């Protein structure tokens, strides 16, 4: 790949470290890599948001996860998490939907939660993780409409903590069914530059990954 192609891909990446055993030293390395590689943001656990925000200043956006990874927290708890994350310096918030509501086909409850979460974002970027591996295609399509209606900036495929991650088919499906102004974030199991590129071609605007940016940095240094 040419250096400008690598830079363009890096600028789509939410460089991620959501490991349950991550230490501050690990998160700091993730932050340093995100800055060096020119990532879109660094995506980290809520408990590290303030320290990372203080550490990086304006050098990189901080993204964090809400209701992660199962999504069955109460709506009130998710909203409280969001407000705390924003107070700590988060600029982008990746919310996990309540999958049980979807399986119950309680679409009114789904819409109500998404509306409450949108309000809790206080103008920050909202990404809705729908956990595609747990859903039927029909459920994914209905959620495309719900996410579009609530005013979220992104619909996101996966947490990376369930039975599967991003697939080419799911990215194409989401892009075909979500509103034009809603972007698609692919995440979960994206470990190579080639797969990330494929997903971008299919309509992914952001890539959530931990392994791709270090490869881009290394390749860029060798050009």
When pLDDT is cut at 50, 70 and 90, the band that residue 221 belongs to is confident
pLDDT score, position 18: 98
Indicate the SS3 state at residue 20.
Answer: coil
Summarize the confidence of residues 46-56 as an average pLDDT: 98
- Pure H helices in the chain: 3-10, 24-37, 49-56, 75-88, 99-103, 107-120, 137-150, 168-177, 193-201, 212-222
Q: Roughly how many angstroms between the first and final C-alpha of the chain, as a whole number? A: 9
Between the alpha carbon of residue 168 and those of residues 5, 8, 80, 175, 189, the distances in Å are 20, 20, 34, 11, 12
Which pair of structure tokens corresponds to residue 176? 């075909």
Query: Per the omega criterion (within 30 degrees of 0), is the bond before 161 cis?
Result: no
Summarize pLDDT for 205-218 with one digit per residue, the tens: 999 999 999 999 99
When pLDDT is cut at 50, 70 and 90, the band that residue 222 belongs to is confident
Q: Measured between alpha carbons, how far is 15 from 34 in angstroms, rounded to an integer?
A: 6
Catalytically active residues are: 94, 156, 185
pLDDT score, position 2: 84
Which pair of structure tokens corresponds to residue 137? 């295609």
The neighbour count for residue 41, using CB atoms within 10 Å, is 22
Residue-averaged pLDDT of the chain: 97
Percent of the chain with pLDDT over 70: 100
The neighbour count for residue 104, using CB atoms within 10 Å, is 11
Q: Measured between alpha carbons, how far is 200 from 195 in angstroms, rounded to an integer?
A: 9
pLDDT score, position 69: 98
Domain topology for 3-222: TIM Barrel (3.20.20)
Summarize pLDDT for 93-138 with one digit per residue, the tens: 999 999 999 999 999 999 999 999 999 999 999 999 999 999 999 9
Per-domain residue ranges for the chain?
A: 3-222
When pLDDT is cut at 50, 70 and 90, the band that residue 3 belongs to is confident
**Is the pLDDT score of 62 beyond 80?**
yes
Q: Measured between alpha carbons, how far is 58 from 39 in angstroms, rounded to an integer?
A: 13
């Amino acid at each position: 790949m040419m250096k400008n192609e690598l830079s363009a891909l890096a600028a789509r990446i939410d460089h991620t470290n959501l490991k349950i055993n991550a230490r501050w030293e690990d998160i700091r390395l993730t932050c340093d890599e995100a800055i060096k590689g020119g990532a879109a943001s660094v995506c980290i656990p809520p408990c590290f948001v303030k320290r990372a925000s203080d550490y990086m200043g304006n050098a990189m956006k901080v993204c964090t996860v809400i209701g992660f990874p199962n999504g069955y927290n109460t709506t009130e708890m998710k909203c409280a998490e969001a407000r705390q994350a924003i107070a700590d310096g988060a600029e982008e918030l990746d919310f996990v939907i309540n999958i049980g509501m979807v399986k119950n086909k309680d679409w009114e409850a789904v819409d109500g939660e998404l509306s409450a979460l949108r309000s809790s974002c206080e103008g920050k970027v909202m990404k809705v993780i729908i956990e595609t591996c747990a859903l039927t295609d029909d459920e994914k399509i209905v959620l495309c409409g719900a996410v579009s209606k609530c005013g979220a900036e992104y619909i996101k495929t996966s947490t990376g903590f369930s039975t599967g991650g991003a697939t080419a088919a799911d990215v194409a499906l989401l892009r075909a069914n979500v509103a034009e102004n809603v972007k698609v974030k692919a995440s979960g199991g994206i470990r190579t530059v080639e797969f990330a590129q494929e997903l971008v071609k299919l309509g992914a605007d952001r890539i959530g990954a931990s392994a791709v940016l270090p490869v881009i940095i290394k390749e860029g240094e060798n050009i």
